[in-house]
Amino acid sequence: MTNSTKQQLLRFIIAGCCAVGTDCLLYYILSQYINFSVAKGISFLVGTIAAYIINKYYTFEQTKKSKKEIIKFFILYLSTLIANVGVNKLSFIILPCILKFILNTNEYKIIKLFAFLCATGTSTILNFIGQKFWVFKEVHTRT
């Protein structure tokens, strides 16, 4: 792994913490009032806006304005939104059995936290790869 990639990964983690914090807080607030899948979708999209701004300017240090870049970013995030909500929903199906077996609990709050972490972990990995190699791909020119 190059030093540039290591720096980007560290910055991506910092940016991700900000975006995930936004996502998590909004998810927990909204899920008290609306369906958890809808709440997850909305919170993910708000976190996406924060992630775009932070990753563009801080993580990948891109300053040029580009409609193509914005379109790529939102295509990536739409794809990872589907993965995020799907993993969250799948986790609500699978986790009760696993947590009952491992922790001897079926408490909804614990299941909700683990579902959020599984969904967020999946989309985080997909987003870093997509942003590094597709959205904010560094253009190398020969001299």
Question: Is 0.85 topped by the overall pTM?
Answer: no
Cα dist. 56→14, 41, 46, 60 in Å? 13, 22, 16, 6
Question: Of residues 91 and 137, which shows the higher confidence score?
Answer: 91
Domain boundaries, the chain: 3-135
Cα dist. 72→35, 125, 131, 135, 137 in Å? 29, 17, 9, 6, 11
143 pLDDT tier (thresholds 50, 70, 90): very low
> Percent of the chain at pLDDT above 70?
95
Question: pLDDT digits over 81-98, tens only?
Answer: 899 999 999 998 998 888
Question: pLDDT digits over 93-129, tens only?
Answer: 998 888 777 777 677 888 888 898 999 889 889 998 9
